[in-house]
Amino acid sequence: MHTKLAEDLGLEFPIFAFTHCRDVAAAVSKAGGLGVLGVAGHSPKNLAMELEWIENEVGDKPFGVDLLLPTKFVGSDRGGFDADELDARISQEHRKFLDDLLEQHEVPPLPPDITLPPEFAVGYEKQRDVIELVFQHEISLIASALGPPPSWMIEMGRQHGVKVAALAGTVEHARRHVEAGVDIVVAQGYEAGGHTGTVSTMVLVPEVVDAVGPIPVLAAGGIGNGRQLTASLALGAQGVWTGSVWLTTEEAETHPVVKEKFLKATSSDTVRSRSLTGKPARQLRSAWTDAWDDPTNPDPLPMPLQPRLVREAQARISRTAHNNEGSEQLANYFVGQIVGSMNHVKSVRHVMEDFAVEYADTMEQLDELADG
Residues 111 and 246 reside in one and the same domain: no
The whole-number average pLDDT for the span 26-54 is 94
Residues 115 and 67 reside in one and the same domain: no
Query: Considering the domain boundaries, does residue 106 fall inside one?
Result: yes
Residues 160 and 263 reside in one and the same domain: no
Residues 163 and 196 reside in one and the same domain: yes
pLDDT for position 262: 98
Q: Which helix (H) or strand (E) holds 330?
A: helix 325-330
Q: How many CA atoms lie within 13 A of 307 on its CB side?
A: 19
Q: Which amino acid is at 257?
A: V
Instruction: List the domain range (segments joined by +) for residue 361.
Output: 4-74+122-252+342-371
Residues 22 and 144 reside in one and the same domain: yes
pLDDT for position 44: 86
pLDDT for position 71: 82
Residues 147 and 56 reside in one and the same domain: yes
Query: Considering the domain boundaries, does residue 337 fall inside one?
Result: no
- Strand 141-145, strand 184-188: pairing: unpaired
Residues 95 and 47 sit within 8 Å (Cβ to Cβ): no
Query: Considering the domain boundaries, does residue 265 fall inside one?
Result: yes
pLDDT for position 142: 98
In this predicted structure, the answer to whether residue 122 has a pLDDT above a threshold of 80 is no
Query: Considering the domain boundaries, does residue 336 fall inside one?
Result: no
Q: d(Cα 107, Cα 85) in Å, to the nearest integer?
A: 28
Residues 309 and 231 reside in one and the same domain: no
Q: What is the CATH number of the domain that holds 141?
A: 3.20.20.70
Residues 85 and 224 reside in one and the same domain: no
Report the SS3 class of residue 26: helix
Stated pTM of the model: 0.95
Query: Considering the domain boundaries, does residue 312 fall inside one?
Result: yes
pLDDT for position 189: 98
Phi first, then psi: give them for residue 34, nearest 5 degrees. -135, 110
Residues 42 and 128 reside in one and the same domain: yes
Residues 155 and 227 reside in one and the same domain: yes
In this predicted structure, the answer to whether residue 115 has a pLDDT above a threshold of 90 is no
Of the ranges 36-50, 62-76, 288-302, the best mean pLDDT one: 288-302
Residues 55 and 173 reside in one and the same domain: yes
Query: Considering the domain boundaries, does residue 30 fall inside one?
Result: yes
Query: Considering the domain boundaries, does residue 161 fall inside one?
Result: yes
In this predicted structure, the answer to whether residue 226 has a pLDDT above a threshold of 90 is yes
The DSSP-derived string for 87-143 is HHTS-HHHHHHHHHHHHHTTPPPPPTTPPPPPPPP-STGGGHHHHHHHTTS--SEEE
In this predicted structure, the answer to whether residue 275 has a pLDDT above a threshold of 90 is yes
The whole-number average pLDDT for the span 277-294 is 97
The DSSP-derived string for 175-235 is HHHHHHT-SEEEEE-TT-SEE--SS-HHHHHHHHHHHHTTS-EEEESS--SHHHHHHHHHT
Residues 174 and 281 reside in one and the same domain: no
The per-residue pLDDT for range 78-103, each reduced to its tens digit, is: 878 888 999 999 999 999 999 999 99
What is the number of structural domains in the chain? 2
Query: Considering the domain boundaries, does residue 335 fall inside one?
Result: no
Q: How confident is the model at residue 123 (pLDDT cuts 50, 70, 90)?
A: low
